[in-house]
Structure 1
Amino acid sequence: MSDTATSPSRTGAAKPKADLRALAVRWGLIVLLVAMIAYFASAEPAFLSVRNLVIVLQSVSIVAILALGVTCTLVVGGFDLSIGSVAASALMAASYVMVVWEGGTLMAIAACLALGLAVGMVNGLLIVKLRVPDLLATLGTMFLLLGLQLIPTAGRSIATGMSLPDGTTAEGRFTAEFLALGRYRVWDTVPISVLVMLALAVAITIFLTFTRWGRVMYAIGSNPQAARLAGANVERYKIAAYMISGVCASIGGILLAARVGRGDVSSGNSLLLDAVAAALIGFAVFGAGKPNAIGTAIGALFVGLLLNGLTMMNAPYYTQDAIKGAVLVAALMFTFGLSVRKC
């Protein structure tokens, strides 16, 4: 009889363990974030200064915007590896429109947004129509864009006065209105890129959480076959998710171009890994266990604070990626490693 019945003592011991595990899943990352802030603040008092915090927010804003796009693809069960190259291509496109074509601000922004929409649609069509796995489709798009963006300028960065491959000289320049997108600060404190990040985070949260379309996207990510049987147009929703990702990446590229003021071919090199890390860390925020916009924004802030603190502590640059990877593994452990064990 003792082999088949559950003893009261065993049940009583299991419940505290389950409660402790639930607390770890829900609050583990937040506790880690608070501990990290406390450590860096005690080691370097300037870490919590307003000036430094604004620098951190500005540095993570573009990464967070890209990560929000990745989040939308994760919601439908996909993944977008092309966001970094889309942002870099948008940066080059905006620079080319204004410096080479001598176009205006609206023309440059429209070209970047159209680029993001087009790339997102191509990714979506490759995945849902040709049945190419999402990782392979977006990886191919990434390499394609990285190569295409270099062709118009023969691999050189774009700046006023540069010599073009056809022998002419680029006479255009970035407009003041465009540069303000990356350099102007509201109340002389908050960069516009931070406000854009916050607005997108709120908008995507409302869209995914409180609208029918967002709930359908979550349903597709959980069980596409069931969503299809319930009447959802799974293919259309997946294509829309990748188009949203493309637009977010192009917005990040616009803000990056406005910040650096030139078409720097190397500006978007680290965006992909940081954005993916932020989106995946977002799974662990408040124990969500699923892609969500608020968690992604907090994940981007987590990565930004970590790198900023390490820099202020004079940590060697070659150790930062390893530390970032360790933090990502810890965040995923809180999300998946602990949550899968129910007893």
Structure 2
Amino acid sequence: MKAAGSKRTATGIFEFMYKYGTLITILLLVVFFGFATDNFLSQSNIISIFRSISIVTIIAIGLTVSLAIGGFDLSVGSTATLANSIVISMFVWHGLNMGLGIAFALIACLIVGLVNAFLVINFKIQDMLMTLATMFVFQGIAMTYTRGATVSQNMIMPNGDFATGKIPAVFKSLGLVPGIIIVMIIVVLVVHVFLTYSKHGRYMYMIGGNPEAAKLSGIAVGRYRLAAYLISALFAGIGGIILGARVMTAEVNSGGGYLMEAVAAAFIGYSVFGAGKPNAFGTLAGAVLIGILTNGLVMMAVPYYAMDIVKGAVLALALAITYYKRKH
């Protein structure tokens, strides 16, 4: 009896930590860094944290939608790079206005989503493996398009002339506070409402839980998987465009560095409030956790080259908790 009681207690503790562990960790980190550093709790630093997580959150939200249908889009970082390269080049190389520049970038990203969906659905290759392959393809396309160079105003073109196009001033505002944070909040709210309250979101969760049962229920599984990859690519593209607005250039593989943080944020989000599935608010909480951790370590003068150790450890812990919960 005592052993059974101890087991129930341990199970109860695990369930509590599974539901609220992420939020408790965020609170503990805030308290720790607040005491360990001088300016961590200042208004400017809090705004800086939310600004720093905005892009990775937007990209991670797209990844969250692909996870909802049981997929796994590893090409989101490369898609963000492609969008960043196209939108800045449309301004600098071709002198297009803001609307057309963004439109061309998003169209390119939707094509990426179509390619991913076509390969995954028709060839029935595991999503993670196929998008791992396309990740390198789209990264290579972006690098080929820019010829491996940084795209910026007044850059020297291959013919020796200077680029004459200008990046619109209004576009720059998307990468500044509060614009960048507002876009992030809108994206999170829209996807939360879509996944939680619409029938299409519920269908996606059904497909992610049991695709065969969903098909037998009359749900068009292929169409929803297509929609999920289009949404994933779309939000990755939006993240890449916002990145362009923030730095006003297109760097080589600029979106690649966001992949691991996006994956970590999405998987950390599984456990928030005991959801047990990909969800927008959970992904935001995961991004906040990573942002606080990164910001606090920087303020404590931890070397930048050690950051990946911490981020990798956080991702490993999130994956361990998620898959342990699935099997128990």
Q: TM-score, normalised by structure 2?
A: 0.95
Q: In structure 2, what is the equivalent of residue 22 of structure 1? A: 15
Match of 2:304 in 1: 317
Letter in 2 for 1:162: M
1:86 alignment counterpart: 79
Aligned residue identity for 2:319: L
Matched, 1:269 2:262: no
Counterpart AA for 1:324: K
Larger deviation, residues 38-47 vs 125-134: 125-134
Equivalent residue in structure 2 for 1:251, among 231, 238, 245: 238
* Cα shift at 1:326: 1.7
Identify if the C-alpha distance between structure 1 residues 10 and 265 changes in structure 2 by more than 3 Å, giving closer, same or farther: closer
Question: How many residue pairs align between the two structures?
Answer: 328
Other-structure match for 2:41: 48
Q: Which runs of 5+ in 1 are unaligned?
A: 1-7, 186-190
Equivalent pair of 1:88/1:253 in contact (CA under 8 Å) = yes
Question: Which residue of structure 2 aligns with residue 179 of structure 1?
Answer: 172
Task: Report the counterpart of residue 304 of structure 1 in structure 2.
Answer: 291
Alignment CA distance shift 1:21-1:159 (3 Å): closer
2:56 and 2:239 in contact (8 A); partners too: yes
Flag the 1:153–1:48 CA change in 2: closer, same or farther, 3 A. same
Sort the Cα spacing of 1:105 and 1:277 in 2 relative to 1 into closer, same or farther, 3 A: same
> 2:61–2:232: 8 Å Cα contact kept in structure 1?
yes
In structure 2, the residue matched to 1:193 is 180
Match of 2:130 among 126, 130, 137: 137
* Residue 71 of structure 1 pairs with residue 61 of structure 2: no
Take 1:312 and 1:179, find their aligned partners in 2: how far apart are those partners?
Answer: 27
What SS does structure 2 have at the residue aligned with 1:45?
A: coil
Q: Select 1:147's aligned residue among 127, 134, 140.
A: 140
Q: Which residue of 2 aligns with 1:3?
A: none
Deviations 1:258-312 (A, max 9, x none): 1111222243231111111111111121222211110001101110110000000
Cα shift readout 1:122-163 (whole Å, capped 9, x = no counterpart): 100111112232122212221112111222332111122222
Shift of 1:11: 4.1
State the distance in 2 between where 1:111 and 1:36 align.
Answer: 41
**Deviates further, 308-317 or 150-159:** 150-159
Identity of matched residues, % = 41
Contact 1:41/1:48, CA 8 A, preserved across alignment? yes
Q: Distance in 2 between matches of 1:271 and 1:302?
A: 15
The offset of 1:14, in angstroms, is 3.4
> In structure 1, what is the Cα distance between the partners aligned to 2:293 and 2:152?
33
2:78/2:253 contact within 8 Å kept: no
Q: Name the stretch that deviates more: 239-248 or 264-273.
A: 264-273
In structure 1, the residue corresponding to 2:165 is in which secondary structure? coil
Report which of the two has the higher share of helix.
2
Asked if structure 1 preserves the Cα contact closer than 8 Å seen for 2:22 and 2:285, the reply is no
- Name the residue aligned to 2:50: 57
Q: Deviations over 1:296-339 (max 9, x none)?
A: 01101110110000000001112211112222233334434356
Judge conservation of contact 2:84–2:250 (CA < 8 Å) in 1.
yes
Is residue 2:189 matched to residue 1:210? no
**Cα offset for 1:340?**
4.0
Task: Output the amino acid matched with 1:53.
Answer: I
CA contact (8 A) 1:24 1:334 kept: no
Aligned equivalents of 2:168, 2:298: Cα separation in 1: 33
Matched position secondary structure for 2:278: coil
- Cα distance in structure 2, aligned partners of 1:330 and 1:139: 22
Q: Could you tell me how far 1:165 is from its partner in structure 2?
A: 2.5
- Measure the CA separation in 2 of the matches of 1:255 and 1:339: 35
Structure 2 match to 1:238: 225
Check the 8 A contact 2:155/2:162 in 1, yes or no.
Answer: yes
- The equivalent residue for 2:158 is 165
TM-score (norm. length: structure 1): 0.91
2:123 aligned counterpart, secondary structure: coil
CA distance in 1, matches of 2:125, 2:322: 28
Mark the CA change 1:174 to 1:139 in structure 2 (over 3 Å): closer, same or farther: same
2:103 paired residue among 80, 105, 110: 110
